[in-house]
Each structure stands twice: as structure tokens, then as C-alpha cells.
Structure 1
Amino acid sequence: MNEPLAERLRPKTLEDYISQAHLVGPKGALTQSIKQGLIPSMIFWGPPGTGKTTLANIIATESGRPFYTLSAISSGVKDVRDVIEKAKQSGGLFTTKNPILFIDEIHRFSKSQQDSLLQAVEKGWITLIGATTENPSFEVISALLSRCQVYILNAFDKNDLETLINRAIEKDNILSKKNIELKETDALLRLSGGDARKLLNAFELIINSFNENKIIITDKIVLERIQNNPARYDKTGEQHYDIISAFIKSIRGSDPNGAVYWLARMIEGGEDLKFIARRLLISASEDIGNANPTALVIANNTFQAVSTIGYPESRIILSQCATYLACSPKSNAAYAAIKLAQQKVRETGDLSVPLEIRNAPTKLMKELGYGENYKYAHKYENNFANQEFLPEEIKGTKFYEPGNNTRENGQREFLKQRWKNKYDY
């Protein structure tokens, strides 16, 4: 039986690897580490089909390290310890090249399973590479996360996907012998959702559906030949991202009906309830923010409740939260403020903290002027003292612009009274 196209085309070297230039391109964050063989423990976080497993294999090959792999779906603590023991023995006493242990879907490991990795990573018996489609901040224990670098892999863009299709036509042992004319790619790319594996599986399915010698690929043919194989709800594929996007945009657009419909689609499809709750938490801050700070409290309580109660009762809590957020006044002012501030930091670098607002815990620091002339706000009328809190080079820069809603209009008036001679509110 032939291997699937996606497996036949799996890159073996960095030169053949498509996409993720920010990690493995000429100036990629991992490029020099891989070339020098200085590999830290790391976690790859990204959607399915973005090359996480492939990249782990390439790193092991190009750094000349023994490679062990486990799947979090089927492995327990005993499996982890057995592999660590083998890795310790294969590493030897006189080598700096620690064996690599790759764990697919590491977010599915329980706390005890993750705990079993800590000593091996800490002692350097293994170099851990974990792969996850979920935010590691929530799914990986903090002790393990602090010992790993987190690298984000992005969904393939249009150019990456087209390169992949053309490579399949030109270089695959089977497809290269066929007479294939690729006239249109939009439908294929749309169906892939940025997932390289999904793209190649669909492409191979279409190619195999032809009996003719001449194979002409058009958008119409793609839709005709794939439409009989729809996924009801692909929790790891395109629908996963499209439906959560529709859900959040319904909340942002203040439509509780759209929000509860897309919520029902996810629940009926078996979506991870904590994934939904996390997105509600983000929306409460990004889309509502200071227009209604209670939204964040409710979203956080929703996450805690869902984590405790589980299905099916959690669907009611999620519905309450989603409809509450949809009916709440909206503001992205806090989101816009941090984006502007981060941009300014990237532009200006590490500017010095003004002396008057520095901490002065020692006598020397006090003698150097740390904290001198600081105005303690509570000693002044209305608990306010006009002073500068930004570095000299960017003083007077306004990052936060309150939104146009009842609560933030009140904030605007407060800031106008306090900073009328400095910021234009």
C-alpha cells in the first residue's frame, strides 16, 4: 500500500522545509541553533498541519541526536520514564548532544505525566520538544513551561500552499508520472484552511478520482469531488478556526443570537469546552474591556466553572457568558493601548526609568537620586500629583484613548481633569 502523499512529501532537511521563515528562514529564531546543534527544550504551538512533527525530526537529524517520540494520546507515565531511561543510556557520558524526546499533543498529558518530565529536562538527560495545538500557557504546567522555549508555528499562507502543490506535481514519485494541469487553486487552498496535510490529502483524493490520462484541476472539479466528504465538525481543522471566529465576531458585533448559534455548533461538534471558555475570556478584555469590567469577571468565573463542572451542564454557563458579553457595551481601548505601547517599545528600545519613580531600597541608590522628588499621590489634593511617569524620550505620549461609552466617557472626564495641560483627552 502506498504511503499518503503528505507522508511521501515530508521534508527531510531544512532546505526542503516550507513555511515558518520566522523560525527556520535565513534570519529565523531557530536557524543558527539548529546549525550549531545547540538545541534548547522547546514547545511548538500552532494549528494542525503546520509542520511541528516534521520540524522536530529535522532538528534531530541535522543536529545528529538520537530521537525518541511519544504520543500524549496513548502514552502514560511509565512510557515516559522508559523512554527517558533509554535516552539517558543512548546519550552516554561524554557527549553534549542530549537525545531529543518529541511528544506530540503534549497538552493532552496530565499534570503527573508532565511532572515526570521535569527532572529529565532539568538535568539535561533529554532535550524535550513538545507539539501542541492549544495555548501552552493554559495546558502545560508552569514548571515545565519555564524550562522550555515556546515557538509559534503559523498556518501556511497562499504562497506556501501553492509551493507545496507544485512540489507534489513535480517531485512526488507517483504524481510526477501523471499528466496533471493545475488551472485553479482557490478551492483547494480554501478547503485546506492553511493545513498542509489537509491540502495534500484533498489533492491526492482528487487526483485518484480521475480515470483519464489527462488530469485538469479546476475549482469546480475540486468542489464537485470533495463535497461528498465533508467533516461535520473538524475540531482540529478549518471549521475549528472558522466557527470560533464566527462566534467571537458575533459577540463583538453584539449579536447574542449569532453567538449562541455558533456556540451550539461547537458544543454539538464536541469542541473542548475550556477552549471556548478561554476565547470568551480574551473577548471580554479585547472587545469589551473598560466599557464593562464586570465582563472579565464573569468570563473568568465561567472558565473556572467549566473547568470544574464539565459537560453537559457547562453548556448553560457558556451560553450565559456568551449572551452577556454579546449584550455588553464594547470597547477595544485597552487592546489598542497595549498594541501602541508595544510598538513604541520596539521602536525606542530599553529607555531608562526616570530617577524620581525608581525604587530605592539601598542607601547607595538613595544617594544616587533614586526616588528623589517622587510625589506620593495620596499626600495631594484629590490623590493626584502632576508628575512624569514616562521616560524623557517619549514623555507626553498618549497610548490609552477611552472608548465612546458611558463608563469610559467617565474615565475620559477624569483624565481630562487630571491631565488637562499634558494629554489631549
Structure 2
Amino acid sequence: MMSKDILFVIDSILNEKGVARQLVFKTVEEALSSATIQRFEEKKVNIIVKMNRINGKYDTFRIWKVVKDEKYTKSSIEIPYAAAKKINTKFEINKHIEYKIENIKFCRLAIKIAKHIIVQKVRDSEQTEIIRIYSKKLGEIICGNIKKIIKEGIIIEFDDKNEGFLPRKQMIHGERFNINERIRALLLNIKPYSRKLKLILSRCCSKFIIELLKRESPEIIDELIEIKSVARDPGYKSKVAVKTKDYNIDTVGSCVGIRGSRTKFIYNELRNEHIDIILWDKNATKFVINALYPLDVISLMVDVNNHNMEIVVKDQSYYKAIGKGGQNIKLTSEITGWMLNVVTKNEVKKKNKKKVKNLSFKLEIDEKIAALLVDFGLNYLEEIVYVPIEDFLKIKKININVIQKLKSRAFDELLKLAMN
């Protein structure tokens, strides 16, 4: 009767879970071993159960490691040489021997408990297998059908019947889906220790853009084109910086496709999110200009120490450079890694006039000379004092005598300020 009960439990699990028969038998053996160990008073006992896969009959064995008599420490998992010899004459030191013991007796309640343990172990085995399979797919795009829409997000069923979860915060703002609709998302994370194994998906991370571009541009897969960085405002706009070592390739054109065919697919997939493909450049100023294309940049003032740039544009181009809600300049700053500030040509003129008047007053010089200094980038007394004479000489309209006087006056003025 016991064998029939065990086979019944196994068959019900096979029908319910649809897992491999061998896996269930192995799990049943482990559950029976665990239950058998409970009847021993020793803290640690090695027990194995061997089950017949056809009729469900099983035998229980206790396992010991054979040690020399003088090294025996009365451990429950070791047996001395002399005692082992009485059980089985065919054994070796430091090897294991088996001794058949009485099978544990199960009542109906015990069968239910065993089934619960077995189901849990099968579930754990399933999760381990899912983790093994999907760990290889982390950072990749996977497809599935929407199974259920809940308040917290969307449950997606993949082609292998496993499920993924797309949280609301990982969805593109404003997008709507229907039950059974086909959807693409990036496998962002695996949470094996939650109450239920979760495959966390995302449609708004930057990696999703990269993987979509890879699908559309064989040159990226073949590593002819490299994606250097991505800045994204999900559902609105993204900037992607690309480069190539093969100068025969039209880097931006290859990613955009003929008449924008490749980025158009991504545009539709991301609910009309605009994609700007930008040519990366190791020269920071060129990279910033590329990132703002097709906007015309009049000039750039670079502050290396503070890692920021002031971008000068025409008055009519200011709002286009900033973008709605500052989006364009924010993404440009993010993708280039520089703090950026946009100003108009007229604003620069006004600022420069104030700087010219300030230098003219403090150094007691003509405003024309002060204007030459400001145009050269020398706006403050400290700069005039510490900039080498060799650099000053690049201002052709100022000779060395004037330079020395300017540096002397600037030093005296700073000294006065320090004393005050």
C-alpha cells in the first residue's frame, strides 16, 4: 500500500507541475531521507533512500565513513574499522559503506506532509532551472504575450510558459496595453528570493534602446560600430552616441538607415520616442557640438577645472537648444558628461560689456584694451596676474610693456583687496 501511495503522489505532481519524472523521483527520495533522519536522536546522520522507478518500492540505507580505530571520534557519520568489518568485509579506509535499515512508516497525514515537502522541493528545482536559463538572458530583449494587467504592472507570459513582470515604473509614460497583446521588454533583473520568483522587465532603461539598435543595425552586432553612451527621457527623446574605427562606414547613417527606416522602427516601438544618433568624438567640444546638431553653435567657452561649458547660440535658437522643459540640454549634458549652460549672443555681449567696464575701472585702462583682454578670455584680475606673458603676447595689439604694466596693476589691486 505504501508503494502505491508514493506512486500516487509522484503521478499527481507530474500531472500538476509537468516536470521531468527523474527529477520528481529524486526529490521524493530526498524527502523520504529527510523524514527518516527525524527518528534519530543524533544531530547528524547520513541517510539515503533508493527507489524503484517502476513499482515505487524503496529501501533505506544509513551511510558511514570508515576511519581507523584510533581516529574514531564517536561521530554519527563515521564508523571505526573494527565495526565496519562486521557489516561488510569489502570496504576501504576513508570510503563509505551502506547499511540497510528499516523503512520509515507513513500514515495518511504523513503522506500529505511528504507531498507538501516534495512539491516545495520541485518548485525550488524549477526556480533553480529558470534562474539558470534566464541568467544567460539578462540584459537581452525577450518577447511575450500580456497575461494579466494589475495595479502594480503587467504580467507577461513568454513562449516557454514562464512569466515575467513589467512594473509600472519600468514602463514608458502613457503607454497602454491589452490582454494577449505581444510585447517586447528587456530582462532587467532576477529576484529569486522574493515570495515568488520574479523576472523583472523594463522598457524605459537605456539598455533597451541599445538592444533595439543592435537588432536593427548589423554593424553594431559585428562590432563595426560601437555605442559609446546613451541618454534617455523614456517616451519623449533619447540621444545615442556612436563611433567606428572603420572610416569607410557612415556611422550615423548606418544606425539611422535609409530614409530613417531603422530608427523609425524604434520610434514606433517606443510610442513615438525621438531618437537622435550622434557621432561620438574624443574632443569634448566637438562632441558637444555633435550632440546639439543641427543647432548652430556660435562659440563654446570651456571651464576645464569645473568641467562645464557655456554654449553661445543665436537668440532665435535659444529655446530649441534648451528644449521643452530643458530636456534637450539635459540629455546633451548627460550623454557628454559635461555641465552645460546655454546663453544667447546678446546675453554674452551684455556680460562682456560689464566685464570690460569692470576691468577698465580696476586697472585704469582704456575700454578698448579691456575689450581685447575680455575677448581673449581674461575676465578677472587673478587671470591677468597668473597667465604667463607668453600667452599674453598672443594678443597682437598689446606689446610686452603694456602687458607688464597690466600684470603689475592687477597684482596691486588684488593686494589691496586682500588687505581690506
Query: Is TM > 0.5 for Structure 1 vs Structure 2?
Result: no
Which has the larger strand fraction? Answer: 2
TM-score (norm 2): 0.23
